[in-house]
Amino acid sequence: MERTLIIVKPDAVQRGLTGEIIRRFEARGLRIIGMKFMQVSDELARKHYAIHDGKPFFAGLVEYITSSPVVVMALEGTGAIAAARNTIGATRPGEATAGTIRGDFALEVGRNLVHGSDSVENGQIEVGNFFDESELISWPRNTDPWIFEGR
């Protein structure tokens, strides 16, 4: 089972889209194994966006993600990275298809509502940056056999 980090970003929280966003991941079949409402610290933001350090937009990313509370989730499932990213939609909302979170609710890349890990490796790293292992609960759902084959 893959794991991915999802961040319901400040713009989504401020707009009251948190519940709808969570609902879409659950409806897709991804299992929530960790979730919390938090204020991202400057240190954690810089660690999370370290790949962009030195780029002209880095300071804006850090300022934005620390500007308001967020909801972070660790999700688990078969092909969780691809499933989550398909649910989220293209990074640039104008390129996101209808039916995706960004396609339905976002207009600008700087206010694109949700972060999702982009690879299995980054999913593991990002989940570890936001959650202690003791905060994660991998649990069976009664519906799992109807979502995952051979389980």
Report, as residue numbers or ranges, the catalytic residues.
115
The set of long-range contacts for 108-114, using a CB threshold of 8 Å and a minimum separation of 24, is 110/60, 110/64, 111/9, 111/11, 112/9, 112/11, 113/8, 113/9, 113/11, 113/12, 113/17, 113/21, 114/6, 114/7, 114/8, 114/9, 114/12, 114/21, 114/88
